[in-house]
Structure formats: structure tokens, C-alpha cells
Amino acid sequence: RYLRACADAVSVGGQTLRDQPELVPRLGHAGSDLGDVLERFRIDRGLRRLPLQVIYTQSGDLDLSVRLFNTPGVVVVTTDHGARRLRARGGERPGLTLLVAGDVTLGAAEMLHAHRRLFGEFGVRYLDCEGGATILDALHGAGLVDEVFVTVTAVRIDPAEHGGVKRLFDLNAARLIAEGHTAADPDYVFRRFRINER
């Protein structure tokens, strides 16, 4: 939640939103004043009250009735094809911006174009990408990933026995800058890697 509070925008890919339609990356949680505290933290630092929500979708295959689209400040990075599809479903409405970054694909050049526009038009300098693997690979392929946070568990998955297992890009050249554990579950290791030194 602190990472979200420091970010100009929080992003996910379209598949993550389809898999988790109740997803709304908020700062706090029910029964706590954490959200209010983090909103004040942001305002005190000259940031908007809540980070923008950025959704990446090449196809425009999004359900615009999910909760996320009822929150202000949502930017959908898409293609010309995806934007036409979203407009046909009512995608032009207050609080929702369609940012067209390419004709039919969101490759490295299109992602760079989108992020130049996010920076220039929306002031997005720090973006917290929270999933999934496809969009993280696309951002990495465009040279836009500076740090990555990895959770390691004792559970091993054999890709030969499970279809659709995604692999993280190679971290051998990345610099490990932090590692942590929780007393509640020592089988989890949290690692933070620095990829770009900028």
C-alpha cells in the first residue's frame, strides 16, 4: 500500500482485470484508517488524492461495468482497434480516458509512446504495475521497468504439468537491493531487484 501511495499511477493488464473483476487498487482496507492516512501522505507531497488507475488492453476486451470503472481517474492504454471496441460499449464517459498507443498491437514502441503520453499529459513519473506477467513483460521489453518485487515461496510448480505457467524475465543482471521475511510465514521471501539504474 505504501508503494501505491508513492505512485502517480497503479496499473494492471486487461487479463488481470478479467480474472479479478472486483479489483480496485485502493490505499486502505476496511476497518482501518490507513486509506485516510495514505491519502493525507499523498496530498502533503503534492500528489493527487489517489493514484491514477491504468489498464492495458490491446483488444479492448474489458467489462466497463466492473467496479474499477466507477472510480475517477482511469486511463485505458489501448490500440485503435481496442478504442473502437470500447467506445462501442460506452467507453467515452467522464473519469475514463482512452489513450490510443498503436493500431493493432502494444509492442515496445507503442508502450514507449503510451508512457511518454502518460508522463506528458498526466504527470505519471512513477508507475506501480501490479500485474500480470504479460504486461510486466511488455513493460520490461520496452525498457520501462526500473525495479521488480518478487515473492518466493517453498512451493514448486512443474510447468510440464501445468498449462499456461508464465515465467518472469531473467533477473541475473538485476541487482538485489532488499530482501525480507515475515514471522507469520517464513516460507515467503520478499525480494526487491533494481533493473535500471536511472
HSE-up of 161 (CA within 13 Å, CB side)? 3
DSSP 8-state class, residue 74: E
Give the pLDDT band of residue 186 (cuts 50, 70, 90): confident
The predicted-structure confidence for 76-121, as pLDDT tens digits, reads as follows: 999 999 999 999 998 888 889 999 999 999 999 999 999 999 999 9
Residue 23 has pLDDT above 80, yes or no: yes
- Yes or no: say if 97 and 117 are a contact pair by the CB < 8 Å rule: no
State percent of the chain over pLDDT 70. Answer: 100
Three-class SS string for 149-198? EEEECCCCCCHHHCCCCCCCCCCCCCEEEEEEECCCCCCCEEEEEECCCC
Give the pLDDT band of residue 29 (cuts 50, 70, 90): confident
CA distance 68 to 74: 8
pLDDT computed for residue 144 by the predictor: 95
HSE-up of 40 (CA within 13 Å, CB side)? 4
pLDDT computed for residue 24 by the predictor: 83
pLDDT computed for residue 6 by the predictor: 93
pLDDT computed for residue 167 by the predictor: 83
Chain-wide mean pLDDT for the chain? 92
The predicted-structure confidence for 133-172, as pLDDT tens digits, reads as follows: 889 999 999 999 999 999 999 888 888 888 877 888 999 9
- Yes or no: say if 64 and 40 are a contact pair by the CB < 8 Å rule: no
pLDDT computed for residue 83 by the predictor: 97
- Yes or no: say if 99 and 75 are a contact pair by the CB < 8 Å rule: yes
Cα dist from 195 to 110, 144, 147, whole Å? 21, 10, 5
Separation of CA 33 from chain center: 24
Of 109, 29, 78, which is closest to residue 37 (Cα–Cα)?
A: 29
Of 9, 5, 72, 11, which is closest to residue 43 (Cα–Cα)?
A: 5
- Yes or no: say if 27 and 38 are a contact pair by the CB < 8 Å rule: yes
